[in-house]
Amino acid sequence: MKIVKILGGLGNQMFQYALYLSLKETFPTERVTLDLSCFNGYHLHNGFEVDKIFSVTAEKASAFDIMRVAYYYPNYLLWRIGKRLLPHRKGMCIESSSLRFDSSVLIQDGDRYFDGYWQDERYFLAFREKVLKAFTFPAFNDKENLSLLEKLDGNSVALHVRRGDYIGNKLYQGICDLDYYHAAIEKMCTYVTPSVFCVFSNDIGWCREHLEQYIKAPVVYVTWNTGAESYRDMQLMSCCAHNIIANSSFSWWGAWLNQNSSKVVIAPKRWLNMEECDFTLPDSWIKI
């Protein structure tokens, strides 16, 4: 039996669910389930969204299933305490703190419990078409998104700025700063002649004030997808021809789900402020 723990915002949930899909294909004779128990008492983001947005289904692990290979935590707070105090059990596969790719994930059979974000396409790249099918967005049905969709041609660029909860967080700050976006815009313009920049952010005011001086093309600031509809920003990112992403799993998926065969994706070479960080971006993406 394989159990994948799901926790975090939409982007992280998608990485974990993609691993779940990959494990089902890799170990067809084994039972593969999801542990959603930590969403109890978890007040960040919008809760478990993958099933609501994409209408996917998955078997959920019971408390008994989890206790066979790991520890069952009925809520988020107990998990935060337990993970610091209790030793790892034999069947627990905990993601490396350096985010190093672990090839044993896709090789070792038998009972295993996967606790991590697994932000590396190598965990599911062999089943890309299955992942793309699972993460098919519902059709747009509002005039703002439909109107913007009509403007997205082969030279449209999605640009994502993550601020808000990143400000003041030592793990993220100082990476995707103004210098990064200036360099990314210049680099993008050496590959394509942008017809429009679609700017996505949780701080549109900052973007208007600081980015427009570097953009020599029409700009659309996407402000209308909020609350339960926030995922529509990711959907629009995937519909643009090219992407400039932040060090965020949300815009990572916006770029990865972009099926333009000639897409240009520009990403930060440094993903996190860690002394040892083995996070790896897709080979074809341009890192600056």
Q: pLDDT for 1-48, tens place per residue? A: 999 999 999 999 999 999 999 999 999 999 999 999 999 888 777 789
Question: Mean pLDDT, the chain, as a whole number?
Answer: 95
Reported confidence tier of residue 143, pLDDT bands at 50, 70, 90: very high
What is the rounded CA–CA span in Å between residue 237 and residue 232?
9
Q: How far apart are the first and last CA of the chain?
A: 41
Q: Which pLDDT score is estimated for 108?
A: 93
| pLDDT greater than 80 at residue 150 | yes
**Phi, psi (rounded to 5 degrees) for 216:** -105, 50
Q: What percent of the chain has pLDDT over 90?
A: 92
Q: Which of 153-167, 186-200, 233-247 has the lowest mean pLDDT?
A: 153-167
- Token pair, residue 35, equals 């542990």
Strands 265-267 and 112-115: unpaired
DSSP, res 74: S
What is the average pLDDT across 249-265?
A: 97
Reported confidence tier of residue 103, pLDDT bands at 50, 70, 90: very high
Reported confidence tier of residue 253, pLDDT bands at 50, 70, 90: very high
Q: Which pLDDT score is estimated for 173?
A: 84
What is the average pLDDT across 147-162?
A: 97
**Cβ contacts of 11 within 8 Å, gap of 6 or more:** 234, 248, 249, 250, 251, 252, 253
What is the average pLDDT across 93-110?
A: 95
pTM of the model: 0.96
**Cβ contacts of 265 within 8 Å, gap of 6 or more:** 242, 243, 244, 245, 255, 258, 282, 284, 285, 286
**Cβ contacts of 18 within 8 Å, gap of 6 or more:** 118, 123, 124, 131, 134, 135
Q: What tens digit of pLDDT does each residue of 107-121 get?
A: 999 999 999 999 999
106-135: string of b/e by CB count within 10 Å (b at 16+)? beeeebbbbbbbbbbbebbeebeeebeebb
Name 197's bridge partners.
157, 219
Burial of 199 (C-beta count, 10 Å sphere; 0-12/13-18/19+): buried
5's enclosing H/E stretch is strand 2-5
Nearest CA to 232 out of 148, 175, 124 is that of 148
Instruction: Supply angle C-alpha 56, 61, 65, rounded to 5.
Output: 160
Strands 156-161 and 196-201: parallel
What is the average pLDDT across 210-233?
A: 96
Other Cβ atoms less than 10 A from the Cβ of 145: the count is 20
